[in-house]
Amino acid sequence: MRKCLIFVAAVALVAACVLPAMAQEKEVSLYGSVRMESFHRWFSKEAAGRGGELDRDETQYEIGDSSRFGANFKAGNTSANVELRPYGGGEGGSTSSNFRQWWGQVDFTGWQLRVGQQSVLDGLFPPGCCIDEGSVQSNFGGWSGRVRQPGLAAFIPVGQGTFKFGLFAPGDLGADGSGSVFNAVTNPGGNPVLTGYEASVDHHIPQIQASYDIKLGPASLKFVGGYQTYDEVFWSGTGATSDVTESIDSWVLGGELQAQFGPLTVMWQIHYAVNATAYKGRPGFLNPKYDVASNDVQDVDQWGTFGRFLYKMSDLVTWELGGGYVDITQDYSPANEDDDGLFVYFNAQIFLSKTFRFTPEIGYFDYRTRSQDPGQPAAEVDQGDEWYLGAYWRIDF
């Protein structure tokens, strides 16, 4: 009954905000963008996924998932955005589509409220690299959070900047498979003790996000932060004498600086995160684990930095050099684990018209080493490297 009352109150609030705007003159504008990758990639034998025996190379022709078609709506103090994108492209072509944005916003006196699927608040500057549509930036020092999620967000002008606060759908790693904190749990002797278990995830609060943007003449600063927690409940597992509930807490703090010096623009960011994979809801190389020896969840610490340097040679050509580094560590019995990676790229954004641009790009990934008990060379595994060369194509309409 309480949940029903809350829902009815929310509907009444939205109706009170939207109905007055329906009498206003409506403005609707359509837009779109078609984007495509054409790259060739060369993998060393350690990174080729062939048991470390053979290197490989491959051609990558894919429709960009950031291609889009959308509509903006405006009437009085109410605005909205609906945006569709192709999904599941890859080398076989796009197989479906989903909504990239689906939100409405009401402008009140001195602040705005946005409701629906929208860009998250804890993301730092977008990628400039084109390979994999820039998604690799978040794996090599950049921070992008979960990009877009359903949520409620408030925008409040404060001083020379804007403070943003939001509550978003939480992420998790699931209760089965590689994301579970109980996955492949072993006792101090290395033998599985929690096999045959069943588990589920309980969310008690939404993901909390905040950011503050400030303009300082030709420069700008941005600070972001986020927090979430969820429980993974384990029961009926072999070797367990009672139910086990473990909380997985995750958070992030980050900042960025952007400055312009004539035709040169410098962009730099840094972040620190705990259990970043749980925060994003995407399993990675290292995920939080339940440690029998300490009877606790062992967190994963991550820090990363990413920079971009853009030089506008003319209205037709902009050169860009960028790169990043990430380091991920976990204290886990009987051995600590460490993983890091390095990425650099160079491209030229060339405008052949106001609506058509293409970007030739070359880049290098050093997947570096992954180790247990850092400092012991015998335990280190070389993960290889990769080169790529190609171009990114974009037509806006």
Asked if residue 185 is part of any domain, the answer here is yes
108-119: average pLDDT:
96
Domain assignment present for residue 76? The answer is yes
Would you state the pLDDT for residue 90?
55
Question: Per-residue pLDDT for 191 more than 60?
Answer: no
Cα–Cα distance, 209 to 120 (Å, whole number): 8
Residue 64 pLDDT class (50, 70, 90 cuts): confident
From the CA atom positions of the chain, what is the Rg in Å? 23
For position 3, what pLDDT does the model report?
Answer: 40
Q: Which residue has the higher pLDDT, 286 or 89?
A: 286
Give the pLDDT of residue 174: 78
> Could you tell me the pLDDT band of residue 33, with boundaries at 50, 70 and 90?
very high
Beta bridge pairs of residue 33:
68, 396
What's 307's domain CATH number?
Answer: 2.40.160.10
Q: Which residues contact 314 (CB under 8 A, 6 or more apart)?
A: none
Mean pLDDT of the residues in the chain: 84
Asked whether residue 197 carries a pLDDT value surpassing 90, the answer given is no
**Nearest in space to 249 (alpha carbons), one of 299, 175, 185:** 299
Q: Long-range CB contacts (< 8 A, 24+ apart) of 291-295? A: 291/332, 291/333, 292/185, 292/186, 292/187, 292/188, 292/193, 292/194, 292/333, 293/187, 293/188, 293/333, 293/334, 294/333
Task: Please state whether beta strands 385-396 and 27-43 pair in parallel, antiparallel, or not at all (unpaired).
Answer: antiparallel
> Within its chain, how far is the Cα of 193 from the centroid?
34
Q: What is the pLDDT of residue 377?
A: 54
Looking at the domain assignment, is residue 17 inside a domain? Answer: no
CB 163 within 8 A of CB 156: yes
Evaluate if residue 121 carries a pLDDT over 60: yes
| Mean pLDDT to the nearest integer, 337-343 | 88
In a domain, 2, yes or no: no
* Domain annotation covers residue 4: no
Q: What is the value of pTM for the model shown? A: 0.83
pLDDT of 46: 83
Going by pLDDT thresholds of 50, 70 and 90, the confidence category of residue 61 is very high
Q: Looking at the domain assignment, is residue 312 inside a domain? A: yes
Using CA atoms, how far apart are residues 298 and 291, in angstroms rounded to an integer?
6
Asked if residue 10 is part of any domain, the answer here is no
Q: Is residue 5 part of a domain?
A: no
129-145: pLDDT as tens digits: 999 988 888 889 999 87
Angstrom CA distances, 11 to 17, 63, 92, 283, 382, stand at: 10, 39, 42, 36, 56
Give me the mean pLDDT over the 286-304 stretch: 84
Domain with 377, as residue range(s), is: 25-396
Which residue in the block uniquely carries the two structure tokens 């990363």?
304
Rounded to an integer, what distance in angstroms lies between the CA atom of residue 317 and that of residue 373?
A: 47
CA 328, CA 307: separation in Å to the nearest integer?
19
> Which DSSP string corresponds to 36-51?
EEEEEEEE-TTTTTST
Domains contained in the chain, number: 1
| Amino acid at the residue 273 | A
